[in-house]
Structure formats: C-alpha cells, structure tokens
Amino acid sequence: MLKLTGEIRTKLVLEMTTKRKSTGESPGGPPKKPNTAGHWSGGLVAAMEDPKLVVSSDDLVTVIRDAYPKAKYHYLVLPKENISSIKSATQDHLDLLKHMDKVGRELMTSEDTFKIGYHAEPSMQRLHLHVISDDMNSPCVKTKKHWNSFNTEFFIDSKVIIEQLERKGKIKLPSKDKCKEYMERPLKCHKCDYIPKHMPDLKIHILKHVTS
Ligand code: AMP
Ligand code: ZN
C-alpha cells in the first residue's frame, strides 16, 4: 500500500482549493478562452492540427492526447469528417464508429486496464471517442463532474453505441435529467466500496489501487 507523506497530502488539498477559487473553466478542464476555432468548445478541431498533441492519423481519423488527461493515459479519437457529436451520429456513420473503436483499442497498453467510450453530453465539438486508462490518477481530475463523467452511466461504452446502431438503427442517449442525476451522484471509488468525504479524500484513496 502507498504511504502518503504530509507533503503530498498538502499538495492534493492545495490543488483542490486552487480549483475552487478559479473561475471560467470549461467542463473538460481548460480555461474558457477562445482558440483558433473561435470558441473554447471548438478546441479539439484546433488540437487535431497541433503536432504536440497528435499521436497518429489515417484517412478517416486523428488521434490526439487529451490536453487535460484524467488518467495516466487519455487519448481522443476524432473523425476527419465534420460530425459535431455522438448526438448527430447515425447509421451512416456505423463503419466510421467501428473504425474509431478499432483505432482506440490499438492504443491500449497490456499493463493497464482501459475504458473506451463517449460522454452522453459532450462539452467539446467534433465527435470524439475517449480512450482512457482506468486509474483516474491525474492532477486534472479536480471536480465531481470530472469524476462522474467517467465513472457513471454518463460514460457510454463504444461497443454499446455500435450495438445500438446495428440492432436498432439509432443511438439512444440518456435524457438531460438522467445526465444531471449522474453528474450529481455522490462520489464513490470506482474500484471498491469506499465512499469518500470529498474529492481530495477520493484522490488520496485511489492511490491505493495504483500498482506502479
Ligand atoms: P467531453 O466532455 O467528452 O466533450 O470531453 C472533452 C475532452 O477534451 C476533455 O477530456 C478535455 O480534457 C479535452 N480537451 C479540452 N480542450 C482540449 C484541447 N484544446 N486539446 C485537447 N483536449 C482538450
Ligand atoms: Zn477504492
């Protein structure tokens, strides 16, 4: 088990305090300031051209590193086609979604466990598939919203989306009210039954589950 020194504990609490004081942050973590695409929510389209973030690309998709990673590994797979979000994906996009899933799975390392899927209500424009290791151990995880967006039904597995399109011809996303409920759900460790008092407590607790 990992022992925490007073210094690490203080750093974690300080990180949380600084976050609470800051204003103007978009849901994903970055400051809400315009980018080359004109609005913070267009930042992923600009990031697809940023050599510091691009990991790979082919005819159909670009893979970038998430600029505010919520875990040890956090990638986004984005189509080159201008599809605004999972909400506008249709059966016509089935082959593309399967390709994104395949490219996403190729990013997974064998030593880590990964999740691959979509946020029910994305904050950033351009369809994007999250490929994220399940440690959630990152300074960018600061709020309950950050936590719950990856650890409740707000996060929808890529295979579920593909199956819905194959079987029913359309994607059924949770309602606005359901999404709100997921975001407001009390914090809980994603690996055991631990119920933390608050985010700093949870951030300290999850270090128990980090193996290396
Ligand atoms: P979502 O809530 O599904 O829209 O997630 C958007 C993701 O994009 C979050 O994980 C953010 O950390 C990430 N993100 C936000 N801005 C940028 C950016 N400019 N470049 C790369 N990733 C970003
Ligand atoms: Zn736990």
94-116 pLDDT per residue, tens: 999 999 999 999 999 999 999 99
Pocket test for ligand 1, best of 41, 74, 124, 141 (most atoms within 8 A of CB): 124
Percent of the residues in the chain that have a pLDDT greater than 90, as a whole number: 79
- For the stretch 190-204, pLDDT in tens is 999 999 999 999 999
**Which ranges of the chain does DSSP label H, i.e. alpha helix?**
6-21, 43-47, 94-106, 144-151, 158-168, 176-184, 199-205
CATH of residue 115's domain is 3.30.428.10
> Per-residue pLDDT averaged across 87-98, rounded?
97
Has residue 177 been placed in a domain? yes
Return the pLDDT at 22: 36
Query: Considering the domain boundaries, does residue 30 fall inside one?
Result: no
Catalytic site positions: 128
Question: Using only C-alpha atoms, what is the Rg of the chain?
Answer: 17
Residue 91 lies in a domain: yes
Q: Is 97 domain-assigned?
A: yes
Residue whose tokens read 């999972």: 86
Full residue range of the structural domain in which residue 68 is found: 43-186
Task: Say yes or no to pLDDT of 18 above 50.
Answer: no
Could you give the CA distance from residue 122 to residue 105 in angstroms, rounded to a whole number?
21
Q: Is residue 132 part of a domain?
A: yes
Model pTM score: 0.87
Q: Quick check: 88 pLDDT over 90?
A: yes
Tell me which DSSP letter residue 56 carries. E
